[in-house]
């Protein structure tokens, strides 16, 4: 007598689009993410202008050196996030390390304050993104840590500017494209970059 075979249900296959996106993200190199053409020229020009501005405002000091690392990094990350909706670790992690070393060398007494600010902002984005899926990603959390580490007590101002910019952009998109655009995701990196740069210079 033959025994009937019961086949175990196969796990649901991943959506083709999800697989393609995952493979594409894994295969991307830093060189493929960097801006090209006009975008590259704007990033370079903006970065040079911000570096000059940092020395003009703070002189030859640790604060100016911090701006030399922070501002061009934020400009580059904003350009990448606008086009690719990615914030690469290959940029954020070395920049965060450089920022930490600059602060530890130039203002050792304030290092723990800066570290706490970075942990607070990065942790907020991480928890918010975990609770509300699709709101913030790990890239936003790491960028938040970097901005907080660099700005210390100025972090709150940078965050307020970033969220205000995001709100204005969202309202503009809704006004121009209608309610059908309410589910479109806006990259948060450019707004946090803007908030970080303004808070750095306006303090």
pLDDT of the residue at 143: 96
State the pLDDT at residue 129.
86
Direct distance between the N- and C-terminal alpha carbons of the chain, in angstroms, rounded to an integer: 85
pLDDT tens string 40-54: 999 999 999 999 999
Residues 6+ apart with CB under 8 A from 75: 43, 46, 47, 50, 193, 197
DSSP per position, 91-160: HHHHHHHHHHHHHHHH-GGGHHHHHHHHHHHHHHHHHHHHHSTTS--HHHHHHHHHHHHHHGGGHHHHHH
pTM score, whole prediction: 0.82
- Residue 139's pLDDT is what? 92
Q: Quick one: average pLDDT of 163-192?
A: 79
List Cβ neighbours of 90 (8 Å cut-off, separation of 6 or more): 30
Q: Which residues of 16-44 are buried (b: 16+ CB within 10 A; e: fewer)?
A: eeeeeeeeeeeeeeeeebbbeeeeeeebe
Beta-carbon contacts of 167 under 8 Å, excluding residues fewer than 6 positions away, are none
Residue 174: predicted pLDDT: 75
Q: How confident is the model at residue 172 (pLDDT cuts 50, 70, 90)?
A: confident
Q: Out of 46-60, 105-119, 154-168, 174-188, pick the least confident.
A: 174-188
The CA–CA distances, whole Å, from 166 to 5, 44, 137, 188, 193 equal 57, 24, 15, 7, 12
DSSP 80: H
What are the tens digits of pLDDT across the range 58-110? 999 999 999 999 999 999 999 999 999 999 999 999 999 999 999 999 999 99
- Cβ(79)–Cβ(39) below 8 Å: yes
* Share of residues in the chain with pLDDT > 90 (%): 65
Q: Note whether 196 and 74 are within 8 A (CB).
A: yes
């Amino acid at each position: 007598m033959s025994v009937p075979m019961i086949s175990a249900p196969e796990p649901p296959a991943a959506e083709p689009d999800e697989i393609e996106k995952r493979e594409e993200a894994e295969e991307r190199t830093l060189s493929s993410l960097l801006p090209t053409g006009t975008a590259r020229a704007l990033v370079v020009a903006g970065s040079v202008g911000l570096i000059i501005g940092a020395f003009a405002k703070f002189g030859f000091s640790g604060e100016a050196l911090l701006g030399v690392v922070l501002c061009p990094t934020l400009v580059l990350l904003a350009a990448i996030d606008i086009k690719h909706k990615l914030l690469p670790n290959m940029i954020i992690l070395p920049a965060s390390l450089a920022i930490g070393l600059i602060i530890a060398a130039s203002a050792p007494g304030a290092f723990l304050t800066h570290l706490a600010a970075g942990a607070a902002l990065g942790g907020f984005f991480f928890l918010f993104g975990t609770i509300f899926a699709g709101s913030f990603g790990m890239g936003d959390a790491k960028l938040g840590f970097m901005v907080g580490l660099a700005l210390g007590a100025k972090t709150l101002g940078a965050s307020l500017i970033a969220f205000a910019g995001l709100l204005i952009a969202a309202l503009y998109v809704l006004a121009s494209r209608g309610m059908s655009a309410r589910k479109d995701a806006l990259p948060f990196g450019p707004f946090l970059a803007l908030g970080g740069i303004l808070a750095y210079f306006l303090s």
